[in-house]
């Protein structure tokens, strides 16, 4: 058991419905209600998939406030509060704690990057300011910096660091991390094609893009594993792999926005520097969605 268990199962890294005029809160509220009704285990708000990087400070705070209120404690609520500016990440983290979040998802500093020593110092400063646990988010393909297993080990005893979202894609490094942190941190898959492998190493679940589209089914992958049906979990992992791959045929969240728009949840609108999905990729995505019985 970890010191700060946050959730087990599937959490949606939720899109933020946007239009040219701003956040579509009506659509956002309906999406949150649908996700919870479908059995999702937790919701992540204003992370990468939620286009947190292009929300203004005022928008970011209002999105967090609105979502926390709409979730209303029905499932754990996790706020994306990371930044390449540690001071800003601290302020967002304090705000998210004040409006009712159960945990924060804090990405490694991007662009300016950091040494491993700098990562320890930055994450420690944010955790020291938090009253709810952090999930450290490692996605070197986007940030240009990797959290090394020894760095996780150095942070694992902090009372406000409760988990890891690991999206480095390197299973060997994840195994090394699991060995070093010795159960002190929950490990969540950050890649939809690695849910079962990470669960098999004692992982607690996934923070998922796929579950925007298939919340019930992504939960079921995890639940089957927890119930001891490893073969069943693996079968589902393989069944949904073509759709998961299509959702990453362009940079996230471009495809998932197209998918959710096709399902009627939002406009197919992303903010620059992102642009809407190329037609050929979108047709493949819609085909993969139809293969899973979705009416698009």
Looking at the annotation, which residues are catalytic?
Answer: 137, 165
Quickly count helices (H) and strands (E) in the chain.
14, 10
State which H helix or E strand residue 237 sits in.
helix 230-239
Asked if 122 contacts 112 with a C-beta cutoff of 8 angstroms, the reply is: no
State how far Cα 104 lies from the chain centre.
10
State how far Cα 234 lies from the chain centre.
21
Asked if 138 contacts 164 with a C-beta cutoff of 8 angstroms, the reply is: yes
State which H helix or E strand residue 265 sits in.
none
Asked if 236 contacts 219 with a C-beta cutoff of 8 angstroms, the reply is: no
CA distances from 130 to 62, 81, 94, 146, 205 (A): 19, 11, 6, 23, 23
Q: Which structure tokens are listed for 280?
A: 């050929």
| Nearest Cα to Cα of residue 286 among 231, 249, 251, 233 | 249
CA distances from 213 to 4, 87, 120 (A): 29, 34, 35
Count CB-CB contacts under 10 A for residue 279: 8
Burial annotation 23-47 (CB, 10 A radius, 16+ → b, else e): bbeebbbbbbeebbeebbbbbbbbb
Cis (ω within 30 of 0) for the bond into 244? Answer: no
Asked if 68 contacts 101 with a C-beta cutoff of 8 angstroms, the reply is: yes
């Amino acid at each position: 058991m970890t010191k700060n268990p946050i959730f087990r199962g599937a959490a949606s890294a939720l899109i933020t419905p946007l239009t040219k005029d701003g956040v579509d809160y009506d659509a956002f509220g309906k999406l949150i209600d649908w996700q919870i009704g479908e059995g999702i285990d937790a919701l992540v708000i204003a992370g990468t998939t939620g286009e947190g990087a292009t929300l203004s400070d005022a928008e970011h705070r209002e999105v967090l406030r609105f979502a926390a209120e709409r979730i209303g404690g029905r499932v754990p609520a996790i706020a994306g509060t990371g930044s390449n500016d540690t001071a800003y990440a601290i302020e967002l983290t304090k705000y998210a704690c004040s409006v009712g979040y159960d945990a924060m998802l804090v990405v490694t500093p991007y662009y300016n990057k950091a040494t491993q020593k700098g990562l320890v110092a930055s994450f420690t400063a944010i955790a020291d300011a938090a009253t709810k646990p952090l999930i450290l988010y490692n996605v070197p393909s986007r940030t240009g910096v990797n959290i090394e297993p020894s760095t996780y080990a150095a942070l694992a005893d902090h009372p406000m660091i409760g988990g890891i979202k690991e999206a480095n894609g390197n299973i060997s490094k994840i195994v090394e991390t699991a060995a070093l942190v010795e159960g002190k941190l929950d490990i969540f898959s950050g890649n939809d094609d690695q849910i079962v492998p990470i669960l098999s190493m004692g992982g607690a679940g996934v923070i998922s893009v796929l579950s925007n589209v298939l919340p019930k089914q992504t939960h079921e992958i995890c639940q089957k594993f927890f119930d001891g049906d490893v073969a069943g979990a693996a079968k589902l992992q393989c069944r949904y792999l073509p759709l998961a791959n299509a959702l990453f045929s362009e940079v996230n969240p471009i495809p998932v926005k197209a998918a959710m728009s096709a399902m009627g949840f939002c406009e197919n609108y992303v903010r620059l520097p992102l642009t809407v999905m190329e037609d050929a990729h979108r047709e493949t995505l819609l085909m993969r969605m139809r293969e899973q019985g979705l009416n698009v």
